[in-house]
Amino acid sequence: MPQRQPNVSLAALLAENHWTAGQLARAVNAMATAHGMRLMYDRTTIAHWLTGTRPRPPVPELVAAAFSRHGGRSITAADTGLIDRVDVAAAVERSSPNITHRLIDLCRADIDPTRHVELIRAIYTTDDRDASAWDSRIGPAHEDSPSGSGRFGATPTDAQTLREMADVFAELAERNGGILVRCALAAFLAEGADRFLNLPASEAVRREMLTGTAQLTHLLASMTADSDHPGLAQRYFGTALELAREAGDRRMFAITLRTMSVQALRLGHRPRALGLAEAALAVPDLTHDPSIQSFLLGQRALASAAVHRPAAARADLALAEDRHEHADGLPGVFRAYSTAGFQYQRALAFDAMDEGGNARASLRAAVRERDPRRRRALALTQARLAASLARVGEVEAACSHWHLYLDAYPHLRSVEIQRALARLLRTMRRMPRVPEVLALQERAESLAHG
């Protein structure tokens, strides 16, 4: 019989909450009473737990609830050490061979408060789980309508609804930040994807439905990354990739790979970022679309610059600019590459090559072209331009752009926006103590602590 191990997790929670064993016992008894149960635990019970004894369910959940209430933060039963920790993300990935079913399971776990806490602990990995190579042999299985139905259930209008919802959620995220919007999108997919994708449909309509769902899942992945949950975001990106592959949508597949490259670069995985950018450009039959080519080339240019390949980066930037000049995509998320977005991407690449002058010129162009409704993108552009101006001593101009960034800050719940504020405050400490800087620092600190 294996020897029991001391429960260090429970001991740590007791110390964190400044509780004695007797206080925890009384709190658990009270929680049980509130749930219609009668427990008579005392300090000796807790002492047994600390040595490795485990109570039967639902006691671990009651212990977690007691700690959550007292400490003011969410504690799961696994956090108490009274049950084994379950890898929720891995369990969902094994739940079904059907990608739409796995998406629904993942979203339902995400909006479940107990499983969500475990889910966001998923670790970002650098293995080949994203299956980044396009395989044209993969596509949706044809599903006939149920016997006696007389017609297919899903219609092109349903597919259009999914595309419109993608536009709505993308706009909400740009206006409010990913943290605020992601839960609503996860809830929509948990129920909406189940309802839409389980309707019988012709193959053409089903492909459109899968593309619409891939777009929404891609947006959820981006919002999750913007909420500082990189491992969970990676799983959503992988799901979006599979949905696009099953839909036979090469464009959406390449867009998702490109955004996965962006995530890898932000996390410091530079060679992986370049590999994903190259995989996006290797997706076949996209050379006829100048908008997507410009979008993909711009990211490969940035990834190349990040791994110190300036010649390759400049070649890609030149080709991206040529492709962008010939682009005529319809407006809307996943349909067009804006001039502001293109100029911002150029600025990132120039920054990575230490070409500050070119970066500032591109950032100024991006600020001019930004749609003011894209509050998050505009704020990040203002902050980056301000930082670049500060580096060359243009204090007054830098402060002006930082104030414009701070105008947007209270409206945005976004990790990238929060990090930009932290960078601003660090930069302030190195700048001259002139009135403009002092006023900006006071405002920034007020927002940081507000």
CA dist., res. 394 & res. 391, Å (int): 8
Cα–Cα distances in Å, from 388 out to 46, 169, 385? 57, 31, 5
Last residue of a domain, one of 350, 367, 384: 367
Q: Using one digit for the tens of pLDDT, what is the confidence trace for 145-178?
A: 443 333 458 889 999 999 999 999 999 999 999 9
CA dist., res. 269 & res. 234, Å (int): 13
Co-location of 302 and 219 in the same domain: no
Residue 148 within any structural domain of the chain? no
Which residues are CB-contacts of 168 (< 8 A; sequence separation ≥ 6)?
Answer: none
Residue 194 within any structural domain of the chain? yes
Co-location of 95 and 243 in the same domain: yes
CA dist., res. 430 & res. 227, Å (int): 29
Last residue of a domain, one of 367, 397, 418: 367
- What residue type is 87 in one-letter code? D
Co-location of 67 and 107 in the same domain: no
> For helices 203-225 and 250-266, what crossing angle results, to 10°?
10
Cβ(275)–Cβ(297) below 8 Å: no
- Dihedral, CA of residue 219, residue 222, residue 224 and residue 225, to nearest 10: 180
pLDDT computed for residue 69 by the predictor? 85
Lowest mean pLDDT among 42-46, 78-82, 135-139, 247-251: 135-139
Rg, C-alpha atoms of the chain = 25
pLDDT computed for residue 329 by the predictor? 61
Cβ(387)–Cβ(401) below 8 Å: no
Report whether pLDDT(142) > 50.
Answer: no
pTM: 0.81
Residue 66 within any structural domain of the chain? yes
Co-location of 257 and 224 in the same domain: yes
Co-location of 280 and 305 in the same domain: no
Q: Using one digit for the tens of pLDDT, what is the confidence trace for 379-408?
A: 999 999 999 999 999 999 999 999 999 999
pLDDT computed for residue 15 by the predictor? 95
Last residue of a domain, one of 286, 303, 324: 286
Residue 430 within any structural domain of the chain? yes
- Give the pLDDT mean for 225-232: 94
Co-location of 391 and 426 in the same domain: yes
Report whether pLDDT(133) > 80.
Answer: no
Structure tokens at 275: 């590999």
Split at pLDDT 50, 70, 90, the class of 138 is: low
Report whether pLDDT(3) > 50.
Answer: yes
Report whether pLDDT(271) > 70.
Answer: yes
- Phi, psi values for residue 285, rounded to 5°: 65, 35
pLDDT computed for residue 148 by the predictor? 35
Residue 378 within any structural domain of the chain? yes
Position with higher pLDDT, 77 vs 260: 260
pLDDT computed for residue 331 by the predictor? 65
- What residue type is 316 in one-letter code? D
Cβ(384)–Cβ(350) below 8 Å: no
Q: Return the SS3 of 443.
A: helix
Position with higher pLDDT, 3 vs 374: 374
Co-location of 382 and 317 in the same domain: no
CA dist., res. 407 & res. 393, Å (int): 23
Neighbours of 33 (CB within 10 A): 11
Structure tokens at 230: 């990189």
pLDDT computed for residue 272 by the predictor? 92
Print the domain residue range for 374: 370-449
* CATH code of the domain in which 97 resides: 1.25.40
Co-location of 208 and 329 in the same domain: no
Report whether pLDDT(378) > 70.
Answer: yes
Residue 399 within any structural domain of the chain? yes
Co-location of 307 and 273 in the same domain: no
Cβ(156)–Cβ(205) below 8 Å: yes
Co-location of 316 and 422 in the same domain: no
CA dist., res. 384 & res. 360, Å (int): 9
Split at pLDDT 50, 70, 90, the class of 330 is: low
Which residues are CB-contacts of 72 (< 8 A; sequence separation ≥ 6)?
Answer: none
pLDDT computed for residue 99 by the predictor? 87
Split at pLDDT 50, 70, 90, the class of 95 is: low
pLDDT computed for residue 139 by the predictor? 55
Co-location of 315 and 193 in the same domain: no
- Give the pLDDT mean for 441-448: 95
Residue 130 within any structural domain of the chain? yes
DSSP annotation of 122 reads P
DSSP annotation of 191 reads I
Which residues are CB-contacts of 68 (< 8 A; sequence separation ≥ 6)?
Answer: 74, 75
Q: Using one digit for the tens of pLDDT, what is the confidence trace for 314-329?
A: 999 999 999 999 987 6
Residue 296 within any structural domain of the chain? yes
Q: Using one digit for the tens of pLDDT, what is the confidence trace for 19-68?
A: 999 999 999 999 898 888 899 999 999 999 999 999 998 899 899 889 98
CA dist., res. 411 & res. 383, Å (int): 15
CA dist., res. 424 & res. 382, Å (int): 11
Count up the domains in the chain and report the number.
4
Cα–Cα distances in Å, from 160 out to 196, 206, 209, 210, 282? 12, 12, 8, 11, 29
Q: Using one digit for the tens of pLDDT, what is the confidence trace for 188-228?
A: 999 888 778 878 888 999 999 999 999 999 999 999 999 99
> For helices 435-449 and 415-428, what crossing angle results, to 10°?
140
Co-location of 324 and 388 in the same domain: no
- Compute the mean pLDDT over every residue in the chain, rounded to the nearest whole number: 90
